[in-house]
Structure 1
Amino acid sequence: MMRSILHMAAPVVTMAMIATATVPAEAGAVRDQLAAQLSQRLFPLFDAVGEDARHMRTLRADPALSAALQARVARRAACADAPLCIAHAMLWTAEEAEALTRAAGTLGGMPAPDDGLAAQAGREVAGVNAIVRSYGLGDVPPYPDIDGAGAIDPREREARLRAAQWLAPLPRAGSVQAMDPSFDYALALLDGSDRTDAIGYEPRDGGANRAAMERARAIDWSRYRYSAMIVTGIGPEIEGMALSPVGKYHLRLAADRFARGEAPFIILTGGRAHPRATPFAEAAEMRQALIDRYGIPAEAIVIEPYARHTTTNLRNAARLLMMLRAPMNKDALIVCNPSQSASIESGDFVRRNTRELGYQPGTIGARLSPTELLFRPLPQSNRVDPRDPLDP
């Protein structure tokens, strides 16, 4: 019976409809809270375009982009109702991406990252492609042990592709669908794979961080030697384990150092990484341990529960320092085990940041001990990059 229902339902939303329809942004479109939050987190530029009809009109009036969008419509329509073909058709070619990023760079009145709107548009289009390839087409992601959809049955993959195909054109308030459905298609693939990790702890200045953020508004930073201690994550590899033995060592280091009164905050950084799809966010578990075991007050702790790599440990800690409004010319103190600390200081780590992030999240300063390094955040860290859709 279920098979016949699906068979009957399939023609209701066809690729021809996706190819030709203009999705209304006005009254009547549903506001999907999960999709809206995920869109804002992953695609802040094109999410803002979807919320403002003026920006949408500006983009669609661009001749080169208009031609590229028409080519994309034709490519999707040629797929008829074949899910795998549609997934390939949702990918942006280099020429199409260039037309979109160039047009987006001309938008006025939009908040821009330090490297401009065109660069941000390029990252977001590349993010769509990365999501479609990994969560739709089954390509191996950069870190296959913790990223991507994992090994799934071919029938389940087809079901996820079909669901994304049907969801992408359904009217959604605030969506950029009227320009191109690929962004909502990517969101649907993540939702269908239950990998909405990127919005698991939003807003970052609320929840467990609210007390610290409120305290930071009135802090006298000059009273402290360091703006914060940054405690990096080192997740367990055993299913069901919340904190690794080395992670517990990091907490003892942090508690001992905090007792000296030289930093007003401890930034704990570590997300849901090891093992794959663990329910434990390392930063949240470290926070509870600091409160329960060492009596550290909650208003002195800031969690960063997304990072899954040492590179993003520091990038995301830099973002939180900026959210705290800490002085950018004041040192923070990285506290971690000697091996990880040496790695952070190495040339290999500089090259890894350049390769994976495209910049350095901060300046590594003097070494104070085998477990302590100075660090100053850089504004590049605020660039949103959905090529890593679990931690953009």
Structure 2
Amino acid sequence: MTKLLFLVSLLGTYLAVQAQPASGYRPTYLFVKSDNRVADKNFYLLTAIQQQADIQKIIKQDAALQALCQQRAGLLKAHAKDTCRTPASLVTGFRWSGGDSLKMVTALQALYDQHPAYFDKLANDHLRPSGYYQRFVGLSNRELLARAWGQYIVGTNYIIDQFGLGKKMRYPRIDSANYPVNGRYYRTILKDMFAMLAERADTMTLFYQPSLSVAMQLMDANDRDEPARHEPMEQLDNKGAFLAAKKTRWATYKYAAIMIPGSGPELATTPLSPLNKMRLDMVAARYKNGWAPFIIVSGGYCYPFRGPYAEAIEMKAYLMRKFGIPASAILIDPHARHTTTNFRNAARLLIRYGFPTDKRCVMVSTKSQTDMVANSAFDERNRRELGYLPYRDKQRLSDHDVEFYPTLESLHMDPYDPLDP
């Protein structure tokens, strides 16, 4: 998290705390959305601005921000016709340098000072209650907005670095670009991508849109739509359990839910790994013994690289087929890519679906994984990668069971994990 913390610190230098902070996550909040759910999940600030005509108008009237917009929209057009063909020559200009970030922050600082009511409304009506910026809720709206813009900068740069420049980012084994970025085929893809984006350049009137368009197109070129898959889950795969939770008598059970982390298969022809099957067999026994009314199966499209199976989808099917557990008792999280985000995403489901967060949950897994989870090194990994612990009061009960409570910080989006922000 070092780069993000540095950037946030830089932004905070220019946007001093002033107003008393308002509240954070609100369970009744209704999300706004664009036509791109991947962008919504990675950059909710921008999706919210898309619904705020007054703020768009204010931003468009700022000369410095418009200069940034025109420069980058012009670069889209230039790359459609120039001789640039390498990834570095094509996409680097859409990253946010320290200098560009400073220009942006200075301009946004002035806009907040001139129009605080409009920006306070954005923060209070959308950013705070969404939970996407939950780690910032103790800050003033001025500072919260600065941190949110910082996450846009970091997130955009991360996507361009990973899928445009082919840099090995946090999890290269499963998150890298599909193609050798300096190969002839990918260079052709990028060049034609800019020709296509050039057609839309004149419609990009907000300073962040050209870089955002490049980042989203790079993800699309690599078929990286994982954040949008199976959404909206509460209306699709999780609908039965989502509705059942509203009628559950929680006092009847020891735990609110049993969480099982996935273990990706090593073979593209294998839906479930041997470890996954062992974990599921143990979970089914605990469910049938009345430990909890719900099971959360957590795991995305991870292993092997670009494999066809989502761990959570296959785990749910296994529990239903082998043990007759009803779909209404199983919640899927088909997005998590690591043990850290198994906990984080389970916490998100529990919080957003109205589970009692003061009731314990239990992770059930094979001994090798519970050994890892119970170790203090796992706590340090969470702090290092997420910036916080997605659980509290973690306690190991046996070789296969670890109790925990979810934490509200888990709702916070992660700009360093564009496939599961």
User: How far apart, in 1, do the equivalents of 2:288 and 2:227 lie?
Assistant: 33
| SS of corresponding position for 2:233 | coil
Residue deviations 1:205-261 (CA, integer Å, cap 9, x gap): 122211000111222222222110110111111121110001000101100111121
- In structure 2, give the amino acid aligned to 1:109: K
Matches within 5 A, 1:342-381: 342-381=371-410
1:93 lines up with 2:97 in the alignment: yes
1:119 to 144, 147, 161: 147
> Who is 1:15 aligned against?
none
Greater Cα shift, 76-85 or 155-164: 76-85
- After superposition, the Cα gap between the structure-2 partners of 1:148 and 1:180, relative to the gap in structure 1 and judged at 3 Å, is same
Residue deviations 1:312-348 (CA, integer Å, cap 9, x gap): 1111111111122112221111111111112112221
User: Retained in 2: the 8 A contact 1:209–1:302?
Assistant: yes
1:219 to 224, 248, 268: 248
- After superposition, the Cα gap between the structure-2 partners of 1:162 and 1:292, relative to the gap in structure 1 and judged at 3 Å, is same
Matches within 5 A, 1:179-328: 179-328=208-357
Greater Cα shift, 46-55 or 291-300: 46-55
> Who is 1:56 aligned against?
56
- After superposition, the Cα gap between the structure-2 partners of 1:177 and 1:167, relative to the gap in structure 1 and judged at 3 Å, is farther
- In structure 1, give the amino acid aligned to 2:371: A
- In structure 1, give the amino acid aligned to 2:335: Y
Displacement after TM superposition at 1:300 (Å): 0.4
Displacement after TM superposition at 1:387 (Å): 2.6
| SS of corresponding position for 1:289 | helix
| SS of corresponding position for 1:271 | coil
Residue deviations 1:13-66 (CA, integer Å, cap 9, x gap): xxxxxxxxxxxxxxxxxxxx9952222122111122133322223334456645
Residue deviations 1:75-98 (CA, integer Å, cap 9, x gap): 778867325423000000124335
> Who is 1:147 aligned against?
175
1:40 lines up with 2:40 in the alignment: yes
User: How far apart, in 2, do the equivalents of 1:253 and 1:100 lie?
Assistant: 53
User: Retained in 1: the 8 A contact 2:76–2:194?
Assistant: no
User: How far apart, in 2, do the equivalents of 1:100 and 1:212 lie?
Assistant: 44
Displacement after TM superposition at 1:297 (Å): 1.1
User: How far apart, in 2, do the equivalents of 1:156 and 1:339 lie?
Assistant: 42
1:336 to 365, 369, 392: 365
Identity across the alignment (%): 34
Q: TM-score, normalized by length of structure 2?
A: 0.78
- After superposition, the Cα gap between the structure-2 partners of 1:292 and 1:257, relative to the gap in structure 1 and judged at 3 Å, is same
Greater Cα shift, 84-93 or 174-183: 174-183
User: How far apart, in 2, do the equivalents of 1:304 and 1:53 lie?
Assistant: 34
> Who is 1:164 aligned against?
193
Q: TM-score, normalized by length of structure 1?
A: 0.84
| SS of corresponding position for 2:175 | coil
| SS of corresponding position for 1:108 | helix
Q: What is the count of residue pairs matched by the alignment?
A: 360
User: How far apart, in 2, do the equivalents of 1:52 and 1:377 lie?
Assistant: 33
User: How far apart, in 1, do the equivalents of 2:375 and 2:417 lie?
Assistant: 24
Give the aligned CA root-mean-square deviation in angstroms: 2.8
